[in-house]
Structure 1
């Protein structure tokens, strides 16, 4: 049964019997027979088959979640019995939100791949929240600890935010001197699915919630950053995105005596989130350690 499940997961990954057969060193006809046998044992149809494409049925999508976990647990168990098989190798699938991926992940990939030449990285920069189990993602980078208790999480760094704007915008529109004045400015905003946007300000004694609006919304921070540098409006983004521009004088801090955050409770951290139990894949463990070392540096 386990061998049939392995064939099934490979077919899903390859999207065809012939490609799966190549990966498994099997004839496509043998792959098809294995899938037929699995469907007979499960008494369900896993794939919608046509001459052009191979799609999972609803039952197949449900089975894939458990099958991926089953194969991962089996592989971990085998690795745990063989301590010599600890050399990082194989494919590592990473999902990371776009701005952090471009600024913090992409620059360290060449050196990581040079250190571990047997590892292949498949990275996806996407600001949507992916289903790591359904999409077979090994490692996700997320803001905030995941609510899914089946996922492991390792904190990478705090995610402090800074309110800033370009000198040209402040010269043209004025510099806010109180949190309340921010509501009168054009604010560059992270999309909240049509929900009203608020920025939260605090200092030692006071906490203020300010409704903000603007003419640019984005799920990712990069478009907002470009607009702020072009003098479009006020920007509230993570320090790791704006600090270099502030040092270079391209952006200036606004209300520096206040802590500003798009969230009511500041101090949300960035986490490396991954599937698996006690024995993660060697390539996953190696990348997390490498990432933590470089973030710290």
Structure 2
């Protein structure tokens, strides 16, 4: 079927059996027999044939779209399989948002580089969205799937969030007993470029959208985490940032019976976003697989 599909696509591109035969180094009669065999297998007519031109039927147009994707995916897969035995090498340019980079990427780079000595890494910790093509970035790690459909995305983990505060803050200002009381507290806020900030509380069938405000906002979570540990206010942050602080008692959960999120429907998912085909180059594939391995080892809520 694949070989017949390749002949079919070439006929469409060339516009005739004879021109397709020249490109494929086949006799026009052989090209015609291939198309006849394909039509028999599919039980459809792909071309309206005349002495002057070939026109695709409606079925032919439908098959062309699917066959083109099938051939492209097959060729990419073959290239990827051929590269499996190649040692990952080359420069890998990574962009990752600051907090995740500091906690979940940078600590493991020495092990990655030791495992793949032919790879060089250039990493940027930045909370701004980057244009992978314009800035020549191989992989960006971000919250949420890319809007650009030409980019590929590999889910790394679900971004669970937790509401917490320092024991000293709660001792001074009291512990909220219901979601509405969060509005009465100083809340440390991630800057989403909005005029008004809300936290979304869910418990079974209850959903509450609570307006919150505070005296500190940041595009990254690290300044907010430091401020919360210093007793500055309530903090809603990703669980992978809070593990040590909660374990050591520097922070304690607030309203743990409620699920609290920055966004109404989801806290988001963290993706590795990359350019190119569905099957990435060896050094990029090695990095993504390595990162997944590390998140699994440390139970970072895949």
* TM, length-normalised to structure 1: 0.72
Structure 1 Cα separation of the partners of residues 222 and 83 of structure 2: 43
**Corresponding residue for 1:195?**
195
1:99-248 to 2 correspondences below 5 Å: 99-248=99-248
- Match of residue 43 from structure 2: none
Q: Tell me, what secondary structure is at the counterpart of 1:214?
A: coil
Q: C-alpha root-mean-square deviation of aligned residues, in Å?
A: 1.8
The C-alpha deviation readout for 1:14-66, integer Å capped at 9, x for no partner, is: xxxxxxxxxxxxxxxxxxxxxxxxxxxxxxxxxxxxxxxxxxxxxxxxxxxxx
> What is the CA deviation profile of residues 161-180 of structure 1, one whole-angstrom value per residue up to 9, with x for unaligned ones?
00000000000111000100
Q: Give unmatched runs, 5+ long, in structure 2.
A: 1-75, 298-302
Please give the per-residue CA displacement for 1:219-257, whole angstroms capped at 9, x wherever unaligned: 000000000000000000000001221111110100011
Report the TM-score when normalising by structure 2.
0.71
Change (3 A) 1:180 1:117: same
1:13-24 → structure 2 map (5 Å cutoff) = none
Change in 2 beyond 3 A, CA 1:86/1:257: same
Return the alpha-carbon distance in structure 1 between the equivalents of residues 267 and 172 of structure 2: 32
CA distance 1:134–1:172, change in 2 (3 Å)? same
Flag structure 1 segments of 5+ consecutive residues without an equivalent.
Answer: 1-75
- Relative to 1, partners in 2 of residues 1:230 and 1:79: Cα closer, same or farther, differing over 3 Å? same
Whether contact under 8 Å (1:97, 1:125) holds in the other structure is yes
For the residues of structure 1 that align with 2:144 and 2:233, how far apart are their CA atoms?
Answer: 27
CA contact (8 A) 2:83 2:282 kept: no
CA contact (8 A) 1:79 1:85 kept: no
Count of residues in correspondence between the two structures: 222
Larger radius of gyration between Structure 1 and Structure 2 = 2
Residues 227 and 84 of structure 1, relative CA distance in 2, 3 Å threshold: closer
